[in-house]
Amino acid sequence: MSEIGHFINNARVAGTSGRSQPVYNPATGKSESSVVLASVAEVDAAVAAAKAAWPAWAKTPPLRRARILDRFKSILWERGDQLAEAISAEHGKTHDDALGEVTRGLEVVEFAVGAPHLLKGEITENVGTNVDSHSLRQPLGVVAGITPFNFPAMVPMWMFPVALACGNCFILKPSERDPSASLLMAEWLAEAGLPEGVFGVVQGDKQAVDALLEHPDVAAISFVGSTPIARYIHQTGTANGKRVQALGGAKNHMVIMPDADIDMAVGALMGAAFGSAGERCMAISVAVPVTDKVADALIEKLIPKINALKIGPAADKATDMGPLVTAQHLEKVKGYIDAGEAEGAKVVVDGRTFKTDKQGYEGGYYIGGTLLDNVTTDMSVWKDEIFGPVLSVVRAKTYDEAVDVIGQHEYANGVAVFTRDGDVARAFSHDIEVGMVGVNVPIPVPMAFHSFGGWKASLFGDHHMHGAEGVRFYTRLKAITTRWPTGMRNDPEFVMPTMG
């Protein structure tokens, strides 16, 4: 059995902690490798390498940093299939879905290649007599990213391309469930010309996370994961004097108005609710049809499509939806369906009964798509982020009632409305208290040159990810005021200086 280790100073490094855990193929339920779990000393070594590399990297002209990222971008284009295969083998998502993940991450690399433009400061001549003022954006130093299992390539690429372009050194702590993608990206960055120490990978669990959160030489932490952990990351990181952006959980709603194109809404829901087996922080997990007539029509059209989902391993090109990531998560998702049924929801399509008939994959972590009707806001299936292929229908009598359902939720990551009415679309977009809004777009993930992030308990910290917000997060502003000897007064001034 192969062992997946760390990446420090542009080389793979075996673990020395003596701790490891299996890495499973969700399609078969079998362990095909193991991942080492870092000790505090191993985290210290990665940070020390980054700290040593940072002065030279920070002084490297931004254009040279951008050229390295541009070469990395070309490698990603050429070897995207290889990275997608590694993702599918450890996460379980289909190859096309994994390739889509790689492409969305690559878009942030493309954005970061243009970061020299965003690093420009401002200048004002003669703010006072013979006095000029200008500003600079400078890197923070060593920064770290702690990333989730559901996007082992894309989410790291939301972080490190921008951080590197801004002149920081970066330590990645990927999910221990699917760690291989991190090492491929690290090797390709080194191949593109990134100097030793600038990008490192430490595999691990909570011990590695806490070591990064408490390390005095780590200036900032980026995180994507569940809300309880995001809250912990933010509280612990800021208590240790770090800048933190921690993206948490989500419960994304789609409002379907009476004038909506119902077939368009159904197609959008199928992809948004069941793509990647619902293991997306931007998955639509709640449909809110306005009026019973719309709800009945929606459910009638959803039932045959959910029943027709092709569920199986990524190796089968016909697969629409792969397995869940672990056996434990499979039982958790089934438990939510049990709870919803016990609380009064109607199980219209029951994914708990699904069993694969594909030889060799009987032990995989498969579940069918599930549709629940008559869900109310006091049920756990509405309150909690299930992170599985479970779509709940909350019926609303009016537009205002639909908006109120969304407003009650503690999460405010993404939301969508399907309508032909421009007035409804504009009012919804401006008034809804959610960070990312789609109008006839089911998963409103912004492009790389915009920024990604939710509101309320979906985000802890002041900055969203990538785009201009990412540049602001990974840099600090310095203001410089300059006056030269010509025309200067030599006598002391004891009053508050002014620039008039």
pLDDT in tens, 213-263: 999 999 999 999 999 999 999 999 999 999 999 999 999 999 999 999 999
For position 496, what pLDDT does the model report?
A: 74
Full DSSP string of 399-424? HHHHHHHHHH-SEESEEEEE-S-HHH
pLDDT band (50, 70, 90) for residue 108: very high
Mean pLDDT of all residues in the chain?
96
Tens digit of each residue's pLDDT (9 = 90 or more) over 283-330: 999 999 999 999 999 999 999 999 999 999 998 999 999 999 999 999
Identify which of 62, 160, 72 has the alpha carbon closest to the alpha carbon of residue 117. 62
pLDDT for the residue 495 = 74
- Could you tell me if 363 and 345 are in contact, meaning their C-beta atoms sit under 8 angstroms apart? no
CATH code 3.40.309.10 region(s) in the chain: 252-439
C-alpha to C-alpha distance for 111 and 56, rounded to whole angstroms: 23
**What does the pLDDT read at residue 433?**
97
Please say whether the structural domain 252-439 has been given the CATH code 3.40.50.1220: no
Q: What is the pLDDT of residues 180-205, one digit of tens each?
A: 999 999 999 999 999 999 999 999 99
DSSP characters over 308-376? T--B--TTSTT-SB---S-HHHHHHHHHHHHHHHHTT-EEEE-GGG-----TT-TTS-----EEEES--
Residue 489 pLDDT greater than 70, yes or no: no
Q: What is the pTM of this model?
A: 0.95
Gap between the Cα atoms of 41 and 198, Å rounded: 19
Q: Which two tokens stand for residue 209?
A: 């996370």
Q: Which fold has domain 2-248+458-480?
A: Aldehyde Dehydrogenase; Chain A, domain 1 (3.40.605)
Given a cut of 90, whether residue 429 has pLDDT beyond it is: yes
Do residues 171 and 212 make contact, with C-beta atoms less than 8 angstroms apart? yes
Q: How would you label 108-127 residue by residue, b for 16+ Cβ within 10 Å and e otherwise?
A: bbbbbbebbebbeeeeeeee
Beta-carbon count within 10 A of 310 CB: 11
Active site residues: 281
Distance CA 345, CA 383 (A): 13
Structure tokens belonging to residue 287: 């449909």
Give the pLDDT confidence of 49-64 residue by residue, as tens digits: 999 999 999 999 999 9
The pLDDT value given to residue 427: 97
Alpha carbon distances (Å) from 168 to 47, 199, 205: 12, 9, 24
